[in-house]
């Protein structure tokens, strides 16, 4: 499932920004199809996005407009589309590797944790970039915390920082429960919806992925993604 809405705080209209001749949400949809792990749905509260989705032949689902996060939006869709687990590909990841989606699918099939996600090594230039989310894990690979700040802090050694990738998987029971949980202090402070799960005692199993050249959180990053896609085409 791909959540997409026009009212992004940092980048309004982001899902429909044109990247090398296609709206960004179409690039994400086509990557999800290439992963070949199941049917793909785009969840949106906006008629403009639904019209675009219909135009390029994808399956779109209208949702309420008052969801505080993309995960809440997906929970509404999941209530009407039964599965053991769901993979959430963020609508701002047009360059994500299909193999990363397959890695999450295999993790859920084999272990069925509460939730799962991916990371890659964080580039030195991104350590202090709040648009790049970092994650720290325990010895078993479960997330301890996600932050827009640099974690761990390099007080005595250089940090082996991990950059979080914007793709998740949720067990059905966990996704169904998610919207019943109030937004949590850390979630609100960092503006990171995955922290709601950690603050309520759920565990997120992290696996190393391949990553993408750029995630699109700002207009500048959209220009980078467009240039990359144009060169690749």
What is the average pLDDT across 60-68? 93
pLDDT at 158 over 80: no
**232 pLDDT band (50/70/90 cuts)?**
confident
pLDDT reported for residue 52: 96
Cα torsion through 193, 121, 204, 135, rounded to 10: -50
pLDDT reported for residue 91: 87
**159 pLDDT band (50/70/90 cuts)?**
low
Determine what percent of the chain falls in helix, strand and coil, rounding each to the nearest 5: 35, 20, 40
pLDDT at 206 over 90: yes
More confident of the two residues 12 and 164: 164
Task: Note whether 216 and 94 are within 8 A (CB).
Answer: yes
pLDDT at 9 over 80: no
pLDDT at 171 over 90: yes
Mean pLDDT score of the chain: 93
* CATH number corresponding to 2-224: 3.90.550.10
What is the average pLDDT across 135-164? 92
pLDDT reported for residue 131: 83
> Rounded distance, CA 150 to CA 152, Å?
6
Task: Note whether 165 and 120 are within 8 A (CB).
Answer: yes
> Of the ranges 64-73, 105-114, 154-163, 168-177, which one carries the lowest mean pLDDT score?
154-163
Task: Note whether 29 and 89 are within 8 A (CB).
Answer: no
pLDDT reported for residue 106: 97
pLDDT reported for residue 167: 92
pLDDT at 217 over 90: no
> Of the ranges 4-8, 198-202, 223-227, which one carries the lowest mean pLDDT score?
4-8
Q: Each residue of 80-124: pLDDT tens digit?
A: 999 999 999 988 899 999 999 999 999 999 999 999 999 999 999
Joined tokens for residue 95? 């360059």
Element (H, E) at 105: helix 98-111
């Amino acid at each position: 499932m791909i959540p997409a809405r026009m009212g992004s705080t940092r980048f309004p209209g982001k899902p429909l920004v044109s990247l090398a001749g296609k709206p960004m949400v179409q690039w994400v949809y086509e990557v999800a199809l290439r992963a070949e792990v199941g049917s793909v749905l785009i969840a949106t509260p906006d008629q403009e996005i639904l019209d675009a989705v219909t135009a390029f032949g994808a399956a779109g689902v209208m949702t309420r407009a008052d969801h505080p996060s993309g995960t809440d939006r997906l929970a509404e869709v999941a209530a009407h589309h039964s599965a053991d687990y769901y993979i959430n590909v963020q609508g701002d990841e047009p360059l994500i590797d299909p193999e990363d989606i397959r890695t999450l699918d295999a993790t859920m099939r084999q272990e069925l944790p509460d939730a799962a996600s991916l990371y890659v090594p964080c580039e030195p230039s991104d350590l202090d970039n709040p648009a790049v989310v970092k994650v720290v894990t325990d010895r078993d690979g479960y997330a301890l915390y996600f932050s827009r700040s640099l974690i761990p802090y390099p007080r005595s050694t250089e940090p082996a920082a991990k950059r979080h990738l914007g793709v998740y998987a949720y067990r059905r029971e966990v996704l169904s429960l998610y919207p019943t949980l109030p937004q949590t202090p850390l979630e609100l402070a960092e503006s990171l919806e995955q922290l709601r799960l950690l603050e309520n005692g759920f565990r997120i199993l992290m696996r190393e992925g391949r990553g993408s050249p750029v995630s699109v959180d700002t207009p500048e990053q959209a220009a980078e993604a467009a240039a990359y896609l144009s060169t690749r085409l």
